A and B are shown apart, each in its own frame.
Chain A
Amino acid sequence: MSDSYDTPDQRNLLDQTAQGVIGQPLARPEGALKVCGQATYAAEHDLRGCAEGVLVGATIGCGRVVRIHRDEVLAMPGVLAIYADQAMLRRNAQGTAGEAPIQDVATVDYYGQPVALVVAESFEQATAAAKALRVDYDVTTDADFDPAEVEYETSEEPDELGDLDRAMNEAAFSIDRTFTTAAHNSAAMEPHASIADWDGSNLTLYGSFQMLKYNVKELADSVDVAEKNVRILSPYIGGGFGSKLGISHDAASAALAARDLGRPVRVTLTRQQVFETITRRSETRQRLRLACDQEGRLTGIGHEAWVTNLPDEGFAEPVTQATKFLYAGQNRRLALAVGRVHLTTAGSVRAPGEAVGMQVLEAAMDEMAEAAGIDPVEFRKRNLPAELPGEGLPYSSRMLSEALDTGARSFGWEQRHPHPCQRREGEWWIGMGVASAARVNILSKAEARVTLRADGRVLVESDQTDLGTGSYAILGQIAAEMLGVPIDRTDVALGDSDLPAGSGSGGSWGATSTGSAVFHACEAIRANLAHKLGVDADDLRLKDGLANGRPVTDLLDRDLVETGRIEPGKTMKDYSQASYGAFFCEAAVNAFTGETRVRRMTGAFGFGRVLNAKTARSQCLGGMVWGIGSALTEAMEFDHRTGRLMTHDLAEYHVPVHRDVPAIEVILLEERDAAASPLQAKGVGELGICGAAGAVASAIYNACGVRLHSFPMTPDKLAKRLPDPFGV
């Protein structure tokens, strides 16, 4: 059987199996370890004689290191060595790079970039020594630090269809708005950390990474050893959100130092270094042009975006990704341009593209609906294309209309006043907003090994990671379901690069891709069991350790081991694939101060088969919390004279806190999408953020009548535009 997924698997095998665990809201199997502090994260592996490394960040934004005053620091207590190695990483690796990122830290590309590593016996000594290290620089005086001041170049050929200008001119209703979104940091709770340990020419690295098979290549290439000599262990990852897709500064520098010192070295980024050196989501400027006819049918969509990155980076925030497939409109222009600035590398942050693209598109759709005089839910439903505009591809499945309807009902959308400033409670204006959710679905190459042991237990193994995404839970559930084994007789081992290469976690593809590999491995085991029983595979019934009524252990004289594989194939090209949903938000805006509080939120989502209703719901919840952050609080703010990030910690970069997050309702819509994967499942990890902030923005408008075109919508921006608080 080919690994390539070329034809939709319509068998829906997981609906025929008998165990009944697939989709169930089971608790995470690693949960007990996590709530007891027993799950071991990267920096927590206990290695004898481990030295402590602390990176030194550049205090210029662009230039070259001309001298490092090593001697005075080498003389400090406990200091073992100072490294400014050519092989150290100047930038961290982009997702799926699979090779060393730009190295050589003698050149400074952005403020805070690591230029040296100081290693000492203790953490306190290393920290003080790193701070004391004087570095002389040759400063590049004409470097660009301000996205507002640089030239932008088209990133790829714009996607054009028909004549948008004409559609705008001839439209019954049209809007033309320019929005901005702030730069974001993933701000995973666990700072990036690595412990490197060499045994001869073999390197073991305890790290915090999302995609081990690429990370091994990146690290091996960076420190110039063969891939087979590198093993990475990431059993638990304290959040990733894109920031741990590729290897970061800690990994290479720990490996280099440990090799030189002949002892393990731990390097943990400070929180400030996470902000300053790990990929940011680019700030964006986005021009939205929408045109529609008298009946509210879109005739034109223009979505043009301007983003930034460092010179020589291939990544450009794919802002218009979902705009391509979401709504109708025969006249279209989607374009992306990149400006080059010497600010922290831009790369993938949870839902690159849709996270900021959808919130702006959806805020604009709200304005368009209002201009056309149509309810925003109805307006969206009226504009769902039958096939992918311009390319005629079918949608593999699309629950958007159902999500809008189901969400609206549950939320109580009918109570919304169509006009703003209609509902006031004391000092607060109250309003409601809606937005669609959409995120492209991707299948990625993956392998996994499943063992049905002679004692009847099942073991699933892959280098797949679990960032909190639920991999441990859902991979076990797939195997338990397929092999008819109770979940408590199922073990899942992940996060070890010596195990078969899963897809890694990113792009919402981990569950479906590695899950499909597990599924295929289980199919092979099922075929073997059917053969042993002398029945057709279709007639095999596995449940609670019984195979067609016989204890499965009776059939086993040894472990059955199978490796399953999947690769993206024709189904990726034959269908437009995405996960969909809808957000509903009720927000209160203080009539005096412009403070905004999200009072409640509903999200309804369709992403194919739900593999675990508890962990999937949590993914959606988390995404919506990110939506609240993107809408209201999160912004990286640079000093544009120097490129220095001024919001480089968790006091200044405001991720939402408990009090910012109200009761959130999540509705999971059952769906089967056979084109997406043999599990009939699609990705959900990022869906919850994609558009959520648009619903908040629309709720703000509906509350107080202010259309801001700048995210985040902080009190300073809102207060000055608010109507007279006494004026009613």
Chain B
Amino acid sequence: MRPFDYRRVADLQPVDQPGDRLIAGGTNLLDLMKLEVEAPRRLLDISRAGHDRITAHEGGLRIGALVTNADCAADPRIRADYPLLAKAILAGASPQLRNKATTGGNLCQRTRCQYFMATDTRCNKRQPGSGCDALQGVNRNHAILGTSETCIATYPGDMAVALTALDATVEVLGQDGTRLIPVAEFHRLPGDDPARDNVLRDDEVITAVTLPEPAAGRQSYRKIRDRSSYAFALVSVAAVIELREGRIARVALAFGGLAHKPWRDPQTEAILTGRPPSPALFDQAADALLAKAKGRGGNDFKIALARRALAAVLTEATEE
């Protein structure tokens, strides 16, 4: 790690100096600082800055940015009304990491692209303009949707995938006050500026995530990975599906492991909505989802795997 100054702060405030970084759980930031992918000049420790409660909010819930993943997944209200969120969090990392990782930090988790994490390789996200060694390299973990020729990294987390399907909102505090960002719009696609993972500005800080009123229907989170636990997703699917009279009345689907952001596709949901579930329908939905999917060799399999994962989730969620 490069040297840095450390200061504990009492309030959750945006940083105001370049080189400052907020640290809470530190599970991702310290990992990257050890690799010198991140090298802040000053760490502002917000781990005791409050914002660690889950409270009722407009018929839904407001999860403070510093609520740990463990606490969030263990919360009775989350478990009862948003089981998808609890399941997604519990599918991620390990209990030890979830005890440290926070809601705000987890939203900002950086990619697991091995080239991003290795300072001796070329990476446009880590070092803009240097090139992308993943395009022709080992890219089994990489994105198939919404990629660009400068970056094929994925957003690696689970929690945000669930939040996307749940239509959650990120509450952000900046110099000019609070703004609300739908989770689905929080992460961005790499385009020609892959250095930015999300739309959070340098002078903004996440203060909370809010969940709308609980939606009717079944909620599920399916994560496919190389080992049964403690591994990142190859593909994951978050689903909220309501069946009425043998038809899919409402469906929200978000995918992890496929893109630089949790992937939500309105067209896929539109195909499913109002129709009786069947393997053929699931296939049609997958066709729409994956119409523009592009493999880069090592990750070609994700196209077929995403189709199969979707079929599995839809089958399970629509079983009588």
Contact = CB atoms under 8 A, between A and B. Distances in A.
Interface of A: 59, 77, 124, 127-128, 131, 427, 590, 592-595, 597, 632-633, 637-639, 641, 644, 646-647, 651-652, 654, 656-660, 714-717, 719-720, 722, 725-726
Contact of A725 (B138, B226, B312): B312
Nearest to A716: B301
The 6 closest A-B pairs by CB, nearest first: A592-B312, A716-B301, A59-B120, A659-B229, A646-B138, A659-B228
Interface string B297-320: 000011011001101100110000
Given A128-B2, A644-B121, A715-B234, A656 B227 contact: yes
Interface in B74-121: 112, 114, 118-121
A660 B231 CA distance: 12
A658 B119 CA distance: 32
B138 A639 contact: yes
B228 A660 contact: yes
B137 interface: yes
A646 B311 contact: no
A651 B232 CA distance: 8
Contacts of A646: 114, 137-138
Interface string B229-256: 1111010000000000000000000000
Given A124-B1, A637-B138, A593 B229 contact: no
B3 A128 contact: yes
Given A639-B133, A651-B232, A592 B301 contact: no
Given A59-B120, A128-B3, A590 B312 contact: yes
A714 B226 contact: yes
B140 A637 contact: yes
Contact of A719 (B118, B119, B133, B304): B304
B229 A652 contact: no
30 contacts: A427-B315, A592-B308, A593-B224, A593-B305, A593-B312, A595-B225, A633-B227, A637-B138, A639-B138, A641-B136, A644-B120, A644-B121, A651-B231, A654-B226, A654-B231, A656-B227, A657-B229, A659-B228, A659-B229, A660-B227, A660-B229, A715-B224, A715-B305, A716-B301, A716-B305, A717-B301, A719-B305, A725-B308, A725-B312, A726-B311
Given A594-B308, A641-B136, A646-B114, 4 more contacts: A427-B315, A595-B228, A637-B140, A714-B226
Interface centre among B119, B136, B302, B304 (most CB of A within 10 A): B304
A641 B227 CA distance: 27
B36 interface: yes
B214 interface: no
B279 interface: yes
A719 B225 CA distance: 12
Nearest to B121: A644
A663 to B, nearest CB: 15
Contacts of B228: 595, 597, 657, 659-660
A427 B302 CA distance: 19
Contacts of A633: 226-227
Nearest to B234: A715
A657 B227 contact: yes
Interface residues of B, number: 37
Q: At the interface, is chain A mostly helix, strand, loop or mixed? A: loop
B128 to A, nearest CB: 20
B296 to A, nearest CB: 13
Contacts of B3: 77, 128
Contacts of A639: 133, 137-138
Given A639-B138, A715-B305, A716-B301, A592 B311 contact: yes
Contacts of B302: 716
A647 B2 CA distance: 24
B206 to A, nearest CB: 25
Contacts of B279: 726
B234 A716 contact: yes
Contacts of A659: 227-230
A288 B133 CA distance: 37
A644 B115 CA distance: 10
Nearest to A652: B114
A77 to B, nearest CB: 8
A641 B122 CA distance: 13
Contact of B112 (A131, A651, A726): A651
A658 B224 contact: no
Given A127-B1, A639-B138, A651-B232, A592 B309 contact: yes
Contacts of B231: 651, 654
B28 to A, nearest CB: 12
Nearest to A717: B301
Given A637-B138, A716-B140, A719-B301, A725 B311 contact: yes
Contacts of A638: 138
Interface string B121-142: 1000000000001001110100
Contact of A641 (B137, B224, B312, B316): B137
Contacts of A593: 224, 305, 308-309, 312
Contacts of B315: 427, 592, 725-726
Contacts of B309: 592-593
Contacts of A590: 312
A64 B41 CA distance: 35
A434 to B, nearest CB: 23
Contacts of A715: 224-226, 234, 305
Nearest to B232: A651
A349 to B, nearest CB: 19
Contact of A654 (B114, B133, B137, B227): B227
A107 to B, nearest CB: 19
A210 to B, nearest CB: 27
A298 to B, nearest CB: 35
A722 B224 CA distance: 16
A593 B301 CA distance: 11
A594 B305 CA distance: 9
A597 B3 CA distance: 45
A720 B224 contact: no
Nearest to A77: B3
Given A639-B138, A646-B114, A720-B304, A658 B312 contact: no
Contacts of A651: 112, 231-232
Contacts of B232: 651
Contacts of B114: 646-647, 652
Contacts of B120: 59, 644
Interface in B119-173: 119-121, 133, 136-138, 140
A350 B234 CA distance: 29
Contacts of A128: 1-3
A716 B224 CA distance: 10
A594 B308 CA distance: 9
Given A128-B2, A651-B112, A715-B234, A595 B224 contact: yes
A725 to B, nearest CB: 7
A646 B114 CA distance: 6
Nearest to A727: B279
B191 to A, nearest CB: 25
A660 B140 CA distance: 21
Nearest to A592: B312
Contacts of A720: 301, 304
A676 to B, nearest CB: 37
B203 to A, nearest CB: 29
A725 B120 CA distance: 44
Nearest to B304: A720
Contacts of A719: 301, 304-305, 308
A719 B311 CA distance: 13
B167 to A, nearest CB: 26
A633 B225 CA distance: 10
B140 to A, nearest CB: 7
Contacts of A647: 114, 138
A641 B225 CA distance: 26
Contact of A131 (B36, B229, B308): B36
A719 B301 CA distance: 8
Contacts of A656: 227
